[in-house]
Structure formats: structure tokens, C-alpha cells
Chains A and B, each alone.
Chain A
Amino acid sequence: MAEPLPAAAASPQPPRSLPPAPSTSRAGFAERSVRERMREKIKAARAKAEVTLSQDDHSPRPRRLKNIRERKTEVSLDKVSDSDKFREMQEDESRLLSKVKFRDSVKKMKQKSPVQNDFPSTEEAYNFFTFNFDSEPENGAGAQKISELNEEEEAEYVEAHEEEQEEDETDEDVRLVKDDLFNIGQTAEDLIVMKPADCESYSEQVQKEKEFLFIPSRLTVPTSQKMPGNVQPRYLEDEGLYTGERPFVSPSNQNIVENRILRQEQGKEWFGDDGKILALPNPIKQSSTRPPIFSLEEGIAPELETVYRKAIKMTAANQYFVGPGDFQGPFQLDIDISGLIFTHHPCFSREHVLAAKLAQLYDQYLARKQKNLTKLLTDKLHALRNAVQRRVGGGNAGAPGPIAQQSIPEYKFEIRQTRRLRDAEQEKDRMLLKTIIKVWKQMKSLRDFQKFTNTPMKLYLRKEEVDQRSDEKAYEAEIQAEISELIEEYMEEYDKKMEEYRTELQKWKSWRKAQKSRKKKKKKDLQEEEDSVEDCDLGEEPVKPIPPKMVNNLEIEQQVREKADNLRRKPGEPALIPELVLSGSVTPSELCPRAEVLRREDVKKRSVFIKVLFNSKEVSRTVTRPISSDFRVHFGQIFNLQIFSWPESLKLQIYETTGMSSTTLLAEVFIPVPETTVLTGSAPMEEIEFSSNQRVVLDHEGVGSDVSFSFEVDGSNQMTLMTSGKVSNSVSWAVGEKGIPLIPPVSQQTTGIPSALKNIDAIASIGTSGLNDMKKLAKWAAETKLDPNDPNNAALMQMIMVATSGEAHVPDFFRLEQLQQEFNFVSDEEFNRSKRFRLLQLRNEEVAEFRNYKQVPLHEREISEKLFQDYEKRLHERNVIDSKHYLDARRAVVANYLQKVRESVINRFLIAKHHFLLSDLVNEEEIPSLGILGLGLFKLAEPKRPLKPRRKERKKVTAQNLSDGDIKLLVNVIRAFDIPVRKPVMSKPQQPSKSSRSFNEMFAASPSAQSPTDSADWAFDQVLVRPFVEVSFQRTVCRTTTAEGPNPNWNEELELPFRAPNGDYSTHSLQSVKDEVFINVFDEVLHDVTEDDCDRRSGIHTCVERRWLGCVKIPFTTIYFQAKIDGTFKVDIPPVLLGYSKEKNLGMERGYDSVRNLSEGSYITLFITIEPQLVPGESVREKMNEMLKKFDTQEDEKLLQAAEKYEAECTSKFPSRQCLTTVIDLNGKTVFITRYVKPLNPPQELLDACPDSSQTTAELVARYVALIPFLPDSVSFAGICDLWSTSDQFLDLLAGDEEEHAVLLCNYFLGMGKKAWLIIGNAIPEGQTAYVLTLEQSQYIIWNPSTGSFYRQYDTFCPLQNVYCLISCDNIWFNIQEHDSPVRISFDISKPKLWKPFFSRSLPYPGLSSVQPEELVYQHSDKTAAVELQGRIEKILKEKIMEWRPRHLTRWNRYCTSTLRNFLPLLEQNQGKDVEDDHQAELQKQLGDYRVSGFPIHMPFSEVRPLVEAVHSTGVHTIDVSNVEFALAVYIHPYPQSVLSVWIYVASLVRNR
């Protein structure tokens, strides 16, 4: 047992012969427990020690080796099962046991590796290990044998080692135990073992390394080792399957890997059928994707170097495709035009015609021969026959399967088919041969006839001798076979027919029977029935069937032989093989007749070239080549077309030039675009035929084209030939530098074969036809048996898979926006039905009702229909005029029109709003001028707390980040002058009535003319008036404390909250706030309610009553734009205040005269502002103006430029003064401002009213203008801009702001012959506005067009504060005086130092036509409508008052009402002036003892709402004395053009006890 060991151990074994077992042991190595490892270590150390100790001793060595070997196996056992082994280790106490165990384990090991089927079986192994025999295992190869041997050795080692190890272990254990327990009694010597130092010899080391290390060999592993069993390697490549190229690995490395793998268990699984390591084809691209970098310059890193690249033209590839058309550069199409052969040409001679025919036939013959269909079919026939025979024979031998039975008829059928085909082919072959021979004969005869030859064509017929006997035999066999088949066929047919015949006969017989029986009946019957029977007989008497004829065998044979004679070569006859050669000689020209010479010369003159057209554009052309005498043209040119997209068409145009001049297009040929697989180098030459239908008649031997000619002498058998020919060309895709075909990407192909399946949907939806043939393609792919593994086919295979699975559905329609539908997740109808969507859409469109709609509900059901009702109503009403709402049909029309204008302007505005300027987005400081800078420096030196503090500018707040409650309106009520005072009830002051006063009187004369009242006494003992101010804004009311006297001083600040409409604090929303601030002045009256004096003693019961005295209205927009309003305003006091009188005289006496400056009426000083200060939307305004200016205008460009220049000049000098030259009309066009000023006729009615006094007429006119309702543009057009309407538009609309009023008034004054100008200036409280200036008797009068009042130039209470410019009908003057207050300036426009004119000598007035109409036409006032309206308004107001007093009973005093109604026309007549306090007296006369307080309100009429507001603001209804009664009367005075003056007289009455 020991003798083979040294050999095995000493000599290094070749690695390939290593059995797999050791390698597994290696794997199992790691699995061992620590303990075991430790043990091993000790073991190893011990072994080492042993070895060193007894190196010379030979005997322990094999033992040790044994040990090692044993361990190895043990390790391998390990793999079998760890627990097993452990048990083994522990159990194995004795050698014997271990031996048995080992045997078991070996058994197990053998069992475990059945995979290695060339291993010996278990039994064999057992025998092998137990008995010591030398015989080889039967089926093991040499290598295997060695491994077997190794194994054997190892097994022995295992045995030995295990024994020893166990011994050691037990020893050690015992020792350890001893050490632990009894170490006290032991000395150092006992514990220390003296040993020489461990040393290992090199060979030992090598030996040991060999156990652990494995050095794989570099030698090639024989295939047999890699393959399981005796399997022969199979090379797929040889079988024709695509295998792909493997990545390159050096053979030595490959060998190493293979060796390594083989050492592993199941290593063979790594090898494929061909005995190579399984590997995927090389994934590495042929070319490197990253271009190589070459540095041109030194010193620069090649990566950083800039390289010039030509600009790449954007590809047009995406023109047809939506897909990802990443551009890949130019592609190349190589078009090789090698030559041209004419199959007919006008210059052909007759011989040429024949030659061409012959050549054609010969070509055909060659083609047929190459295909050799006859042979193929014959072979097939033979094969089929054999098959049938075999099947029949086989069926006899064994039991014929049903499949075989079934297939025989199929075979037979196929035989018939094939035979028929073969016969046809044979016939064709034979015919062709015959025709060739015939044509050749014709040609020969022609050559003989004309005595010259033109073509070098010669036909040889080669005879091929055949073996007669075998041929005959084959022939006969064939015939016999055919006959038998035919007979069989006929027999079959016969059987079938017989069958048919029998059934027919049966039918016929039964019919006959029926007939007979009927006939019998008929005999009994009478004649008349005969007809019908006859009918029936005629109708369907079946013909007696004829029995089919039996075929005659001889007949068939006859047939077959006849056919064979016709079609086939007779047996023994030599096979004829034609051969066409061009070896013949052409007769030289000298020997030819003249006509022929001419023809030849003509041919020489002719030349041909070809144009190449790509996508119908000529890209190149060949050189012009003469036609050779054999009508062949050789070009041999290759054109490289650099293209960007898949070609649409490729075309060749063949041109012929004759002589020097004419070029004719012979024909056009379309070339198919090559498949992507057709690459340059591999593309075959193709011949494309062309023909031309040109008619050419020649006067020489040439036959011409489209001309009939004949070969016969008698001219019969005429034929006509057209110019035709063949172009031989090849089109292919070029191959790039790196072997990449330069083909446009597949996705670009319209033909789309392996088309981009990635976006199959998109393409399919476009409806390209590329995928139409999917099914066909799939079929083709299946038929051609494409190799599915070839990566070249991958795309195709994938597509076919898709195609066959039926997923690629090609729609039969074309869609323009092919992707649209994919994104529609609901249908359009559903979309439109959705309320939520509609809401969102409307909001997005910024429709007024929905602009600020917050939180659009998520569910349909949460959106109520009501939401849209208003909007729909508005849409609906746009065209329907609702007179009820407006009380007046005309007004409704106007309102409607206004609405439309507003909408159109708003639409424009919305567009403009989304147009931003830098200043809208970025706050940037202006560049400070030097002066400001200096001022700034000066400021630094300023004292910290100056003695005279200056008002600091408040910080402005942009409106965007505001919300409700952030904005407050501050009203500072400072003081008032000349508040009306109470009149003692009983006093009756009589004042002289002044019906008319001149201007002079008005201003010059003072009220001193009035007699001092006699009631000086009550003035002192009684409080004249206890006024307080109440400010109401947006229905919020604030009041001051009560002051005393007619000139009260409050100095109180009132704070009112501001709420923007819809909570929208954007600029344009704020600008459209229509709310007004009402500042009402009230008198607080205390009544003693105690009835008798005895009560008075105990306490005072007073009742507070307040009486309205007057009001000031300031629109919010004014405050918003002005930021602050500071000034003294005239209180709008009704002309009559029952129970009050003006206390002018009193003041007079007290010496306030100078202060009060001769004015009438009461005044109040206010300071109003908004906190925080809002940035007014000026920028929007101006921007809009800018925008609109850019829109259309009809003004001259020069004029506009001049205007711009003028404006710029003016504003640069006086930046605070506005210069207005151009305005925007209602159509949004820019119009020069002077065009608005034009004399116009006021209503005749007004002129007639007071013909004698121009003064009164002027007042009347002003009043008329003032009666036209005021509607600021900024309200109507949502803070957009001033739109100036012409006077007729204004009168039609009956609404406008200051400009329109001013223009109309100015025009009226001009029409009345006055000198009038428009003043552009600043007034309180309107802000920037327009007034009218007239010159009356060398006095300048300033008219406020919106109130109708007028002021002298030096009137301190004139609301006009600043004058900026004056406008007449022909010029503009800008105020360049130092001051701009009307009091301090001169209105003398003739002085250019004071007024800068627009049109001057340098720019004369061009005579601009006016935009105003020639004449204004007025509608007469409609009295009845006014009366009707009057009634309605009265009713509405009464209802309102009752509504406002919900807790009290509202009684109406009819007497009072009627009295009041009488007063009103009078008031209108007097224009509210000078109607004295006789109302009071009158009333008292009528009513008796009542405390009456009330007043008339005068308003222009536009809508009901302002009237209601006005009545409400007076607070008449607030009186809550129990026995109060009310009176209300309305009077409407109609003026022309439906201008209505409304008077409302309200009064409350309390009966005096």
C-alpha cells in the first residue's frame, strides 16, 4: 500500500490529471469549525516536529504522508455531511471502527458523484478499495486512471491519518485535564518540553504547498476532459448557426481558466457543447465610441484642445417623424452607374433588332438554365414517387399508421401538381430553344440578304451526345410511370363519377316512379289537369344520367406519348445547347452600302449621359459618352451621395445628345432605395429596363423608334419597336471608415423594416405603411428560417414576435396630430360638461365674476349651478335690453353699449397687464442728479431735530400683499365755515328775492346788501347750530363729536376700514372701486321730551335728533390716485333746508368778511388719506397708454413725433405739470387733443330759454352739461386709461368723466360765440382733471364742468388748484410760468414767455380736422317717460325708506308730500337758487303745527342706485321719534337728449304738541 506514495508525492503531477475530488476538498476547507482548524494546526505542528526530529528516519514519513492524505479525504467527506464526520471523529475510538467508517464514507463519496459518469460504480469502487488489484477501470481514459490512482492513495492516507489524529487528541485531552487539575504539584520542568527549533526543508515545504496550492497549467486541456462522457464536441458554427464572436482571450489564459474550472466539482458545466467555456458574444463595439484625441499643438492637454467642427446642418429627418431623431451625421449612398445597353435604339439596323432579340432570348435561356426548373421538378417528382412507393411498401410490411394512410393521397396530389408544372416548364424550355434557333436563322438570312454584318453575334449549337440505351430506358420508365399515374387518376375520377352517376340514377328512377303513378292518376282525371302536369314535366324532368365511360389504357398511353414527343427530347437525340458568342466580324464601313454608312455615322454622333436625381433633385450626372456601334455605353462612375435622411426617391434620367446641340430626355428610371443590408462592395449590379415612347424616323438604315418596319420582303408581319434599354447600376449604402454602414437610422425609414418598435404607437398612429406588411414579413421570416440568434436579425425578430402576437395594430386612417388622442383622457363633450373645468377655465380667462374665485371645489357636485347663473345672465343680457333694471329703455341701451366698450377695453387691458416693464418687477433707484446729490450731502449737515419739522414721505405699499383690514381710510375733519343755522320756528325773515344777477354782481356785490336780520336777540341766547360730521364709507359710519356754532372746529381723525371688492387688492381692482366717501354734516338737535314741568324737576329727558345739513362726496379712486386729499371743500348743501338759514349776515357783522372772501355756501376743511399709502396703479395706466399708442393711430407720424418732443420738453422743465397732447379715443386710437375742440351747438331749448341774457344761457348750458351723469373712466375702465369720447358719443352714452364734460362745455361755449379753452389741471377733489376757461368781458371765468359752477380767476375757493395747459381748437399752450395756481398766473396766451405753444412759427398748425361731428342732433325730451320714471323712483325710494326702518312704522304724510311735490318744479326752474325759506312757511300753513325737517336733493340721473345711496346718506330715515311722519316727493325734469334732472324732496315731520 505504501509503495506508490513516494512517487506520487515527490513528482509534481500534471494539473490536468488532477481529479475533481481534491478541489472539492478545498472548497470544503472553509466550512470547518474553528475547533477543528485548531486541531489541525496542532496536528501540523506536531507533524512538523516529528519530521524534524526524525528526519533521517524513513519509516515515519509515509505515516505522515498518510496522515495528510487522510485529512484530505476527510475534508472531502466533510462535504458529504458535517455532522456525520463529527460523529465519526468522536465515535472513532479504535482503528477498526474507523476503517469501517472510512469504507462507508468512501462509498458515500462514490455515490455522491454520479455526475461523473465515467467513474466506477459503487460496487466497483468498493472492490477497488478493498482489494488490491492493478487492473484499470474499464471505461476510464488515461487521465482518469491517474486520478483513480490518486484517489486510491488518498484514501489510504486518510485512513492512516485519522487513526493518529485520534490518538493525539485523546492524549492531549488527558494532558490538558491533568494540567488543569494538578498543576500545583508540578514543577516547571514538567511543563516545559525541550525541543529543537522547527525547521522545514524546502522539499517539505513544496510538498506541503502542493496540498494547499494549485498552480493551473498553461497547457491546453483535451476536449475529452471538458466534455462529459464520450460526447463529441459539437460546433454550432459548422452547422450554420450564428455563434457570434467571442471576446479575445489569449490562449494561455484561456487554458489556465479551463484548468481551474476543471478542478472544481461540476466544472464541466462551464463548458459548452463545443468544449469551450461558455461565453457570450463579444459585447465590445468594433470601433471605439470615443474618438481618438490627437493633439495638434504641443503643451496643450489633448482633452482641452479646441477643435473646429463644421456647423452641422439641422437634420430634416424629423420632418416626417416625431420620434427621437437624434442626428447622426451625414449618410452616404453610393450609386454606381456602370453602363447602358440599348435593347432598341432608333439607329438600330434590322440586324441589330434581331441581334437584340437574340441576345434577349439567350439571356432568358441562360437564366432558365441557371434556375433549371425542369430538372428540379423532375427530381421532385422522382422523390415523390419514391416516397409513395415506399409508403405503400412500408404499409405492407408493418401496420400502416393512419398518418401514412392520410399522406398518400396528399403525395399523389402533389405528384400530379408537380408533373403538370414540369410539363409546362419543359414545354417552355423547348419553345425557347426553338425561338432562338428561329431568330438566328432569320439573322443569318438577313446577313446574306444585305451582304454585310453589323453585329459580331454568332450562335453555336452544341450537341451533347447521350447514352442512348439508358436514355431510352429512362424515357420509357417515365412514360410508364406517367401512364400508370394517369390511369390511377382516371380510375379515381371514374369511381367518383360512377358514384355520382348512381345517385343521379337513383333520383331519376324515383322520379320516374312518381311520374308513372301520376300518369296513372292522370288517366283517371280529366283533360284540364293535363296542362299542369305537362308544365311540371317541362319544368323539371331530370335527364337520365349517362354512365361514365371507362378510360382506355391505350388511349392514355397514346396521349402521354404524344405529349412526351412534343415536350421532351426524344430518347437518344442529342441535347442541344445554344451558345452565343460575339466573335463574328463586323463588315467595315467601306464595304457597306451608303444607307448603312449613314447609319453608322449617325450612331457615332450620338452620345448619352445619365442624371442622378435624389428626391427629385439633380445631384450629379455622368460624363457624356458616345454610343458605341454595339449600342452599349460604358460609364463606370460611382456617385457618393451624402444624405441626411432616408431617401424618398432615387431616379435616373437618361439623356441623349445628338451632335453638338440637342439634348433629349430619353427616359426616366426609378431605382429602388436599397435595403439596409445592401452595402457597398457586396451590392450586385442590377439592370433596370427603361423605354421611351419618342417617335424617331430616320432616313438611313436605322429602323427608328415607334416606326413600323418588317423583316419580310413583302412588308407583312410588321413590327414597331420603341427605344428601350437597360441601365446597369447598383445602389448601396456606403461603409464608413470603421466599417459602419452609413445608413440613416432605422427610425427614419419610411419603409421602416426593423422599424423603431420603441415608438411603434406613434408610427402606427401616423398610419405609415411601413408596418402594413408585418404579417407578410413574419411569414417571410418564418419561411426563410432566419437565424434568430444573429444580432443582425435581432430587431427583425423582435418585430416579428410582436407582429405575430397581433399587438402591432396598424390603423387604416391617418391622423394629423397623432399624439393628441392619447392625451385626451376624457372626451371633449365630457370636458365641456364638467362644471369644475368650466369654472377653472373661466377663472383662467379672468372673467370678472370668477377672477378671484378661491378654492374651486374638487367635486362636480359641490359646484352649484347658481355660480354660473350670474355669468350666464350677463352673457344673455348682453344682447337683451332689460329696461326694468334701468327704469329707462334708453339708459339700458347706453349701459349695454358701455358694457361692451368696457369689455373690449378690458380685454385689451388684460393683455397689457401681462406685459411687464422692468419697473413693475424691480425697484431701482433713479440715478440721482447732481442737485439731489448735493441736497443729500447738505442733508447730512442738517440738525437732527429741526425746529421746523417737515412732513416725511410715508412708505408706499404695493397692493399685492394686502388683505382685508390692512387698509384704512383716514379722514381728518378739521373745521367748517358757514354752516347753516337753525331758524327759530316762528320767525319769518323776508329776504329780497333776486331773480337774476350779473356776474359782476355775483362776485363784486357782497351779501351786505342783505338787511341785517332782526333776530339779533335769539342769536345770542340760543345755540345756533350744533354740527357734527359723519363720514360713511362702504357702509361703515364714523362721526366726530358735536361742536357748536356755524364755524365749528373739530380737528378729529376718523378711521374707516377699507375692503376691496372680492378681496382683490391688485392695483387694477383698487382702481375700479366705485365706492365714495360721504362726509355728511349734521346738526344735533336736542328735544326735551318731558311733557310737563313737574317732571322736569326730577330729571331731564331729552331726545337727540340729527338733521342733515349737507355733504361732500369724494370718490375712493380720487383718494387712491391722489394718495392724500388736503383742502377746503364746498359742502353740498341743498338749496332749501327746512328750518335752517344761512348765517352770512351774522358773520359779516362779526368781521369775518375778509376771511370768508365773499363766498356763498358752507365749506369744510378735510385731510383724507389711505393708511398705509398704496402705490397707485399709475404705471399700469401709463403702460397702457404706451401700449395703446403703439397700436393704431391715424395721426401723422411727424405730428406724433413733435408731440412727443413737446411733451418731453415740457415735462423736463416742469415735471409735476402734465402736458397732454394726444389722447385715446373710444376705439383705442391715438388722437391729437385739439381735434376734440370744436364749436358745437347746444340744445336749442336751452338757448331759447333765456334769449336776452347770455350769462343765464351760459349757466343753463353749464348746468345741462353737469346734469350728464359723471362716470370716471377709471371706474368704467378699471383703471386703465383715459378714453376720450367725442361729444356725440358722450351724449349718446350719457356718462363720462371730467374730460368729456369739459370738452362738451367748451364746445358749447365756442358754439355760443364765446372764447373758451380747455384747462388741463389739478383740482380738488378730482385730482387731475379738465376745466373750462372762458373769457367774459376781460375776465377769465373758470367753469367746473361736472358741477356746472363757475369761478372767477381770483376766487380762493375755486377747486382748481393748478393749471398745466390750455387747449383750444388749434393749439396747445403749456404753462411755463413760475406758478400754476390760477390766482397767480396770467391767462394771456399770447405771451410765449408765459405759455409755450405747440404750434408755432416753426411748426405751423396743419389744419387738423376735428373728430367731433358737424352738428349735434338732440332728441326732444320725453315728458311722459319722465313722469313715469318719476313715479317709479318715488315708489322705489319709499320702499327703501321703509326697508331701512324695519323696527318702526313708517307713516307717509300725504299732504306734505303733495306740497313738496309742488315745490320741486319751482326749484328746477330756479336751478336751486334763491328759493327762500318760504317753503317752511308754506308747509306750516298747510300742515299746521309740525316740526318739519327736510330738504330737496338734486342729482343728475343715471341709475337708481346713486339716488338711493344719496337718500340713505342723508339719514332722514334714522329719526326714531314715535310719531314721526315722512314725506317724499320726486320730480324729474327732462332735458333734451334724455338728460334728466332729478329732484328728491325728503322731509320728516313731527307734530308739535
Chain B
Amino acid sequence: MTAGAGGPGVFLVAVNGQIESGEFPGFDDLYCKFCFVYGQDWVPTAGLEEGISQITSKSDVSPTTLIWNFPIEITFKSTNPSGWPQIVVSVYGPDFFGNDVVRGYGAVHVPFTPGRHKRTIAMFVPESTSRLQKFTSWFTGRRPEFTDPKVVAQGEGREVTRVRSQGFVTISFNVVTKDIKKLGYDVSPTDMQTSCVPITEGIHKY
């Protein structure tokens, strides 16, 4: 994209942050994977699109939270806010028999507004279709998984799935944007705007 005479042709969204912690009651020794899902008009320009964290265990210090503190750093460029990047997090860990099974999927949009944000994602896993399936999957350690973790970032086809919530993952984002406002997309919250136009004024004109 060449920047034309009339200003920039793309806007940039830089995301730093980390997958801070997770809360998965009853599970231990979990690790998580993340990846970004974004629309066709988005291109990652720098940073990692995917990552896999270390395995973390609970301790007496934090008996309920699993801390990963797994950094995320990625920069996107885009021409269109449609398809705003989402981070998809999936958490895995050993089950009773030591098989590595999925413990949760979750996704959240990268915050629109610049600044520091903290997001807590509820994590869920697909349910077995029947009790027998459930038992066998438990027994064999092959639980139902999404064909692609990115499924959780899309709305299409979700109606055929049944999921169970498993826990939470907290992610912090530091978002920096460039040229978004120049291109006519105003993403800053109203309280940050310098000129505060009363809402009613605008309405009456139409």
C-alpha cells in the first residue's frame, strides 16, 4: 500500500500484552496456545501470530490461578476495520490418565481503543455428543476438540456445537494505533474527545 498524496493508505494496530493467567478450577499443569484471527484486509506486519506457552502449575501462593505471563506482541496493518483481529486462546493440559486434552477455547477481539486493557475470556470446550461418547472420550483421553481453534472466533456454524465452560483466562493488552483517526474511524471513547458535542444537538438536524 503506497501512501498517496492524501494521507496514509493503511492504519496500524500494534498490540502488546500478555496472557496473564487462567483460572481453571480442578485442573493443573496447563499450557496455552494463542493465535490471531483477522479479516482479509488485515496483514500482520511484525510479531508472532501464534505462540505456545510453558506449562504452569498451581502453587500454594496462588491456589486458584495459573500464571503464564506469556507475552503477545504483534502489529497489524489494515485497510478496513472489518475483520478486526481476534486473539484465540486454547488451553491444554493433562487429564487424569496423563493424556493431553484440551481444557478450553476462547477468543476476544483486540480492543479497539488505544491504551491498556484487560480482558477476561471465558473458556469452554465442546461437549461430547452422547454420554457413551463422553465416557469413552474420558477413558481414551481423546475428548472432542474443535477441528480448528479458530472456529471460536467465528460465528458461523456454532449452532451445531454444544460447549461447557471450563474457566477463565485473563489477557492484558496494550494497544497502540496509528492513522486510524486520520482515516475517518473514530475509536476513542467519548470521554477522550476534546470537543464534546451534546448528543441532542446532532439528532435534531436529521
Chain A interface residues toward B at CB < 8 A: 761, 807, 821-822, 840, 843, 852-859, 861-862, 914-918, 920-925, 927-928, 958, 960-961
Contacts and interface: CB of A to CB of B under 8 A. Distances in A.
B157 A920 contact: yes
Given A923-B145, A927-B132, A857 B126 contact: no
Interface stretch (B12-20, B64-72, B133-141, B190-198): B133-141
B114 interface: no
A11 B157 CA distance: 90
Given A857-B9, A920-B157, A925-B136, A961 B204 contact: no
A856 B134 CA distance: 45
Given A921-B147, A925-B140, A761 B128 contact: no
A964 B147 CA distance: 21
Contacts of B128: 924
22 contacts: A761-B203, A822-B206, A840-B80, A854-B40, A854-B41, A855-B10, A855-B41, A856-B79, A858-B9, A858-B11, A858-B183, A859-B9, A862-B1, A920-B160, A921-B151, A921-B161, A922-B147, A923-B145, A923-B147, A927-B133, A960-B148, A961-B148
A914 B156 contact: yes
A918 B161 contact: yes
Contact of A923 (B4, B43, B140, B144): B144
Contact of A854 (B43, B137, B156): B43
Nearest to A913: B156
A858 B150 contact: no
A922 B146 CA distance: 4
A47 B193 CA distance: 64
B183 A922 contact: no
Contact of B126 (A859, A922, A927): A922
Given A843-B40, A922-B126, A927 B160 contact: no
A915 B157 CA distance: 6
Contacts of B62: none
Interface residues of B, number: 41
A438 B159 CA distance: 88
Contact of A921 (B6, B142, B158): B158
Given A843-B40, A862-B1, A921-B146, A857 B79 contact: yes
Contacts of B161: 918, 921-922
Nearest to B140: A925
A1107 B136 CA distance: 60
Interface of B: 1-2, 4, 6, 9-11, 40-43, 78-80, 82, 126, 128-129, 132-133, 136-137, 140, 142, 144-148, 150-151, 156-161, 183, 203-204, 206
Given A918-B161, A921-B151, A925-B136, A861 B40 contact: no
Contacts of A840: 80, 82
A1229 to B, nearest CB: 27
B137 A925 contact: yes
Contacts of A862: 1-2, 4, 9
B179 to A, nearest CB: 9
Nearest to B160: A918
B205 to A, nearest CB: 10
B144 A858 contact: no
Q: Is the interface of A mostly helix, strand, loop or mixed?
A: loop
Contacts of B2: 862
Given A921-B158, A923-B144, A960 B206 contact: no
Contact of B147 (A920, A927, A928): A920
Contact of B41 (A822, A856, A915, A921): A856
A761 B206 contact: yes
A456 to B, nearest CB: 65
A853 B43 CA distance: 12
A924 B148 contact: no
B39 to A, nearest CB: 9
A831 B82 CA distance: 17
Contacts of B206: 761, 821-822
A807 B204 contact: yes
Contacts of B6: 859, 861
A918 to B, nearest CB: 5
A925 B128 CA distance: 9
Contacts of B183: 858
Contacts of B150: 960-961
A689 to B, nearest CB: 44
Contacts of B157: 914-916, 920-921
Contacts of B151: 921
A862 B1 CA distance: 9
Given A914-B156, A921-B160, 15 more contacts: A761-B204, A855-B41, A856-B40, A856-B79, A858-B1, A916-B158, A916-B159, A920-B147, A921-B151, A922-B146, A923-B147, A925-B142, A927-B136, A928-B140, A958-B148
Contacts of A920: 147, 157, 160
Contacts of B147: 920-923, 958
A1068 to B, nearest CB: 15
A804 to B, nearest CB: 15
B40 A855 contact: yes
Q: Top 7 closest A-B pairs, CB basis?
A: A916-B157, A924-B144, A858-B79, A925-B142, A922-B126, A918-B160, A922-B144
B129 A924 contact: yes
Given A916-B160, A961-B150, A924 B133 contact: yes
Contacts of A925: 133, 136-137, 140, 142, 144
Contacts of A923: 144-147
B154 to A, nearest CB: 10
A942 B18 CA distance: 45
A958 to B, nearest CB: 6
A914 B159 CA distance: 12
A168 to B, nearest CB: 60
B142 A855 contact: no
A855 B6 CA distance: 18
A915 B150 CA distance: 17
B41 to A, nearest CB: 5
Contacts of A861: 4, 6
Given A761-B206, A858-B80, A917 B160 contact: yes
B180 to A, nearest CB: 11
